[in-house]
Amino acid sequence: MEKKFNEYYEFISKQLSPDVVQKIFSGFSKKRPTTFRLNLLKGDSDFLINELKKENINYKKSSYIPNSYFSYNLTEQHALRLDVVKKGYIYLQSFSSMVPAYLMDPHEDEKILDMTAAPGGKTTLMCSLSKNKAKIYANELDKIRYQRLLYNIETSGAKVECINKRGEILYKDYEDFFDKVLLDAPCSAEGRFQIKDEHSISAWSKKLVENSQSLQLKLVVSALRTLKKGGTFVYSTCTLNKKENEEIFQNLAEYFSIEDTDVHPLLNRLPNIQIEKLILNSRKISIYRLLPSEFFEGFTLAKVRKL
C-alpha cells in the first residue's frame, strides 16, 4: 500500500500547504481510541455513568465533545457486546462524526433533514440535543444500511421519521420544506486512512474522488432545494481534499445564493483545525478542516444559510 499512500501524498500536496499535509500524514500514524457518547434520551448523565461503571472498563471523559468518552483498551468488537451498548445507553461514534450534529443546533419543532443518515449517529445525537422535540427526518437509500438506521433509532429511543429514497431527487417530495438540512456526504474517506492499516486506503483512487464529487454536487443541490429560504445547511465529509469540499461550494454558487454563519463555540475547542475562506458571489464561506489526530478522524465541514 506504500504506492497508494505515495499517490495520495502527491494528490493532496497539490491542494493543501506543506504544513497541513505534514499534519495530515502525522495524524494517519496515530492510533485512535474507541470513542462513544452518552445517550441522554435513555436517562440523565448520572444514571448512564452508573450503568457504564458496571461494565468494569477503563475510560476517560473527553475535553472536546460534551458527554463523550474514550478508551484505549476497549475494542469496538468488545464494546458491541456490552449491555450499555445493546440497551442504547451509550452510542459508539467517532468524535469527528459528532461535530455536525452540534453545528446543526437542533431546536424544538424545527423540521430537520439528515439526508444520508445511516447508521444513525448524527440523527440520534440531534434527537438527543433537541430532547426529541425537533421534527427530524432521516433518509437512507441503501436497504441494508436503512435497516441498520432503523435499529439504531429504535435502540436509542429517538423519535424520527425515516425515509428510504434517493437523496438526489428528495426535493421533489420536500421542496422548501425543512428549516435545517444536514448532508454528511458519501466520500472517498481520506480522513480515515491509517498508515498501519492497509485496508483503510485500498479502495481510494482519483477516480473515486471524481465519482464522489459528482454525486455530492447532486445531493447538495437537492438538499438546498428541500431547505426553506433562510434555512441552515451543514455539509460534512470524512475526507480532506478540495474537490469534495471547496469545489462543491464553488459549483453550488451557480445555483444558489448562500452566506456564512456564526462560528459554533464547539469548533473553538477542537484541535488541529485548518480554516479555508472561499469567496462566493462576494460572500465569504468558511470551510473547516479537522486534520486527523490522536482523537479525531479527518473531517471537513461547512455551515451556511440559504438566501
Residue found under cell 475562506: 277
Catalytically annotated residue among 127, 162, 187, 238: 238
Containing H/E element for 275? strand 273-280
Helix axes 206-226, 2-13, angle to 10 degrees: 50
- For residue 187, give the nearest of 169, 205, 213 by alpha carbon: 213
Is 127 catalytic? The answer is no
How many angstroms separate the CA atoms of 49 and 164, rounded? 35
In three-state secondary structure terms, 195 is coil
- For residue 112, give the nearest of 87, 137, 94, 132 by alpha carbon: 137
The length of the chain in residues reads 307
Any idea which residues carry the catalytic annotation? 238
